[in-house]
Amino acid sequence: MKTTLTLGLTLAAALALAQPAAANTLDKIKASGSVTMGVRESSGGLSFTVGDGKFAGFHVELCERALHDIQKQLGLAKLEIKYQPVTSQNRIPLMQNGTIDIECGSTTNNLARQKDVAFAVTTYVEEVRVAVKANSGINSLADLNGKTVATTTGTTSVQHLRKHERAHGVDFKEVYGKDHADSFLLLDSGRADAFVMDGQILAGNIAKSKNPADFKFLNEVLSVEPIAIMMRKDDPAFKKAVDDSLKALMKSGEIAKIYDKYFMQPIPPANKPIGLPASEATKAAWANPNDKPMEEYAKK
Amino acid sequence: MPRCFGSGGEITYLDWMLSAWGWTLSVSLLALLVALLFGALMGILRTTPHRGLVLLGTAWTELFRNIPLLVQIFLWYHVLPALLPPLRAVPSFLLVVMGLGLFTSARISEQVRAGIQSLSRGQRMAGLALGFTLPQTYRYVLLPVAFRIIIPPLTSESMNIIKNSSVAFAVSISELTMFALQAQEETSRGVEIYLAVTALYFLSAFAINRILHAIEVRVQIPGMIGGSR
């Protein structure tokens, strides 16, 4: 009997959690005086942990600025920001069930996700690039014929290469690292001739390597993906508040300074700079703030 | 026109999954071979009267069963080739087979030892008294019975090896687990892909189970453990 009761209570709790949270995040923030920010432990310069439960990064700082503006708008004397680490797998469910109110990591804005969540204006445009050894003699995608290409399991990066290059008669072998560090090790140890991944992840790994001069990027960009701060769907007031704050940063040019802080200056844990200047696509997104999904970028 | 199987260099997800299944089976079966070979040898050594051989068998078993499987796979893949340059030319597939095979050999060694030691002491003495040498005693008296006794735990171990082969994804073998992680990210059809992969794992492990069960029934001796039916 007791087991049945416990089971029933657990089920009830699970059902309660599954209920969509209150649609109005601003009211929730005002009532509780706190907000929960979803962050990533290692998403390059966008969001990373600095240890001791503290987080930093380009998107984390943008979120903190936006929340500060919201605090002023709501007239709150104090706003507590709780940091909740999330992963690629759980970030959308946690957003939908109200565990996190705003996600400041490295989430690509695409049509599939727009059915479940909302995105702020794009603040960073990721370019999928190819890194090779500088002395490998590989200078373009066509040179990858017969070579081994590494990528990280559970990412879509190599898909672009597969679709495009195989159609043009470039045949290559794919190997998969368990995570980005593993994939980079495949390239570094010569088990792979190239590593296909988000530009900032490649740049970060190269910067941390023993000899960064051993590596170079191919010029081709395989795809571009708008990365944006994520929020719950159907909450226009909260989205407007965040968007307005971001647009102000873009208009004043402040955003470029914040970008510089995380992508060009040394950052923990290695205290080395990623060394990736803002791309033309990123600058274009700042010049004309928009929340277009990835699919619209691919069209051009 | 969409087809299930690609042609002319095109690869569909179904092609990919079947190839991944092939990798899973190849890794598992070869590793099982390695595990049975080394496991049986080390298990037998541990029951001999020679202290040196016992020590070797025990050291082997404790070495390979006290280190997590994933760590062993990484040792074979990343560390050993760095220390021993000739290993760099060895394909990662064989390194994983050795890693998984030797890990499992420690477990099989333990079962073989238990099987032999479960026989009464008189069996060994009788064999030696008949004028058999020690190897002959093992060959004709001890092992035929001991191996029949340990078929059930060996069945579990053989099924485990299929499931454990999923760690091979960590060192870039494109087996089923890697296929599942990769394809669900590319297609956003996680449910279907995980269902298919689960079915293939189940099918593979269950096939091993049935094969070993058939052997068990086939070789049983009436009146012995596991043999009375």
Predicted local distance difference test score (pLDDT) of residue B162? 95
The average confidence (pLDDT) of chain A is: 88
Predicted local distance difference test score (pLDDT) of residue B11? 77
CB atoms within 10 A of CB A21: 17
Render pLDDT for B205-216 as a digit per residue (tens, 0 to 9): 999 999 999 999
CB-neighbour burial class of residue A124 (10 A; exposed 0-12, middle 13-18, buried 19+): buried
What chain A residue is nearest to B185 in terms of C-alpha separation?
A154
CB atoms within 10 A of CB A27: 14
Please compute the mean of the pLDDT values over residues B157-175 and round it to a whole number.
Answer: 91
**Alpha helix ranges (H) inside B131-189:** 134-137, 143-149, 151-164, 176-187
Predicted local distance difference test score (pLDDT) of residue A28? 93
CB contact under 8 A, B172 and A177: yes
What chain A residue is nearest to B189 in terms of C-alpha separation?
A112
Predicted local distance difference test score (pLDDT) of residue A297? 85
Please compute the mean of the pLDDT values over residues A53-61 and round it to a whole number.
Answer: 94
Render pLDDT for B7-28 as a digit per residue (tens, 0 to 9): 766 778 999 999 999 999 999 9
Q: What is the DSSP letter of A252?
A: H
Place of tokens 């104090």: A78
Chain A partners within 8 Å of B172 (Cβ)? 150, 175-177, 182, 186, 191
CB contact under 8 A, A174 and B174: yes
Render pLDDT for A112-161 as a digit per residue (tens, 0 to 9): 889 899 999 999 999 999 999 999 999 999 999 999 999 988 788 888 88
Q: What is the DSSP letter of A173?
A: E
CA A268/CA A54 separation, integer angstroms: 12
How many angstroms away from the CA of A154 is the closest CA of chain B? 4
Q: Which of A155, A171, A175 sits opposite B185 (nearest CB)?
A: A155
CB contact under 8 A, A175 and B10: no
Please compute the mean of the pLDDT values over residues B103-119 and round it to a whole number.
Answer: 96
Dihedral (CA of A148, A154, A155, A157) sign? positive
* pLDDT exceeds 60 at position A19: no
* pLDDT exceeds 70 at position A7: no
Record the tokens describing residue A96, joined without a space: 């939908």
Q: Which amino acid is at B152?
A: P
Render pLDDT for A200-213 as a digit per residue (tens, 0 to 9): 889 989 988 889 99
Pairing outcome for strands A34-39 and A80-85: parallel
Give the ipTM.
0.72
Instruction: Give Rg (Cα) of chain A.
Output: 21
How many angstroms away from the CA of B66 is the closest CA of chain A? 23
Q: Could you tell me if A189 lies within 8 Å of chain B, comparing CB atoms?
A: yes
Please compute the mean of the pLDDT values over residues A87-96 and round it to a whole number.
Answer: 88
What pTM, to 2 d.p., does this model score? 0.76
Check residues A29 and B225 and name the one with the higher pLDDT: A29
Is the bond preceding residue A269 a cis peptide, omega within 30 degrees? yes
Under a CB-based contact definition with an 8 Å cutoff, are residues B131 and B141 in contact?
no
Predicted local distance difference test score (pLDDT) of residue B32? 97
The residues, any chain, with a CB within 8 Å of residue A55's CB and separated by 6 or more, are: A39, A47, A48, A49, A83, A85
Number of A–B residue contacts, CB under 8 Å: 37
CA A264/CA A258 separation, integer angstroms: 10
How many angstroms away from the CA of A228 is the closest CA of chain B? 19
CB-neighbour burial class of residue A139 (10 A; exposed 0-12, middle 13-18, buried 19+): exposed
CB atoms within 10 A of CB A151: 28
CB contact under 8 A, A176 and B178: yes
Under a CB-based contact definition with an 8 Å cutoff, are residues A81 and A34 in contact?
yes
Q: Which of B78, B169, B185 sits opposite A185 (nearest CB)?
A: B78
Predicted local distance difference test score (pLDDT) of residue A1? 45
Q: Could you tell me if A135 lies within 8 Å of chain B, comparing CB atoms?
A: no
Place of tokens 């510089």: A260
Please compute the mean of the pLDDT values over residues B146-165 and round it to a whole number.
Answer: 94
The average confidence (pLDDT) of chain B is: 91
